[in-house]
Amino acid sequence: MGMAKDLTTSEISRQNILNNPVALPRIREALEIKPLEFNGVLYITRQMAADFYEVDLRTITNCLNANEEELKRNGYRVIKGNELKEFKLKYVREIDFPNKMPHLGLFDFRSFLNIGMLLTTSEKAKWLRGRILDIVIAVINEKTGGGTKYINRRDRNYVISAVQEENYHKKLTDAIRDYVDGHKTFKYSTIMDMIYKAVFCEKAKEYKKLLELSEKDNLRRTLYAEVLVSISAFENHVAETIKAKAKEMGPVSVEEVGEFVKELSAMPFVKPIIEDARTKMASRDLAFRDVYHGNIAEYLKAVSPEEYEKFIGSQSVDFDHLLDENKAVLDRLKQ
């Protein structure tokens, strides 16, 4: 999987794994490690981490110092004072504590994995990274029935967005058919390319190539709900503008339609819609489909635990089941 060609160098790829609540329990099951329970949380000391990764304590400390912010954000903490006293009392038999130890660093499970993704000199950490990736891929494949092409449809919001977009799309194709000059197939595909380019910086052909879609695959069926909302906004505006201009001046050229798309892209209220679509598409495609959209790479973020739940976790839905559930709403929307 490309996303993880090297976990040691990509913070987004590391965070995508640490944010994945579906894969983490599986990874925990696969590891032979006995954490220490303290105040309801399972912890691993720095020495235990050094033993597990087969490196010396200094290597762990150096790695901690170099990546302190990331590791703390993912659950590493230092205990002292009364908390440390309690911890020492509880584990006095298992651990040989130095007498004057003023504080103790503890990894929870996420930060323990996190440091394993950062240790470049440990063979055991390298093994762990491979294992983690296998599990993450297996979990996503299992949840999507083996293919991630239509993972977008597992979002409950997808059906409604898709039906609404279908309506705006029809409105636009009718306007192109009736009021735009040029060959039917050419004018339609050129205008859709202009819209795709404005929303996610790729023409249909480039997008299909990245997602390895065939000629017959309908590109719009693979888009996330938020991207469809963004495209609907363009389709609706362009259709309205074509009709208004044609009524005023007669048939419109494809070039003029390009101008309408450009004008809409520059409107302040459209900017947040486009930015949201680019962020969702770049980030989710990297995490779920292992697809890297170079043209919108600046919008890349780690996928949140909530998004994992939405697409492969407890919130995700079976598409056909969703269609049945939404039958009444869909019938109303299609009118």
For residue range 211-239, list pLDDT tens digits in order: 999 988 999 999 999 999 999 999 999 99
- Domain of 87? 2-143
- Same domain? For 127 and 163 the reply is no
Question: Could you tell me if 284 and 303 are in contact, meaning their C-beta atoms sit under 8 angstroms apart?
Answer: yes
- Same domain? For 93 and 205 the reply is no
187: CB partners within 8 A, 6+ apart: 176, 180, 181, 254
Question: Could you tell me if 75 and 15 are in contact, meaning their C-beta atoms sit under 8 angstroms apart?
Answer: no
CA dist 52 and 198 (Å) reads: 50
Given 143, 177, 196, the domain boundary residue is 143
* The Cα angle at residue 230 between residues 228 and 232, in degrees rounded to 5: 65
Average per-residue pLDDT for the chain = 91
- Same domain? For 127 and 181 the reply is no
- Same domain? For 134 and 156 the reply is no
Given 98, 121, 143, the domain boundary residue is 143
128-154: per-residue pLDDT in tens?
Answer: 999 999 999 889 888 887 678 999 999
| pTM score over 0.85 | yes
Between 4-13, 133-142, 237-246, 285-294, the lowest mean confidence (pLDDT) is in 4-13
Per-residue confidence at 2, pLDDT binned at 50, 70, 90?
very low
- Same domain? For 137 and 166 the reply is no
The answer to whether residue 99 scores a pLDDT higher than 90 is no
Question: Could you tell me if 261 and 194 are in contact, meaning their C-beta atoms sit under 8 angstroms apart?
Answer: yes
- Same domain? For 60 and 104 the reply is yes
The answer to whether residue 122 scores a pLDDT higher than 80 is yes
Mean pLDDT to the nearest integer, 94-108: 87
pLDDT at 323: 66
| Domains in the chain, number | 2
- Same domain? For 192 and 303 the reply is yes
CA dist 116 and 49 (Å) reads: 9
The one-letter amino acid code at 224 reads Y
Per-residue confidence at 328, pLDDT binned at 50, 70, 90?
low
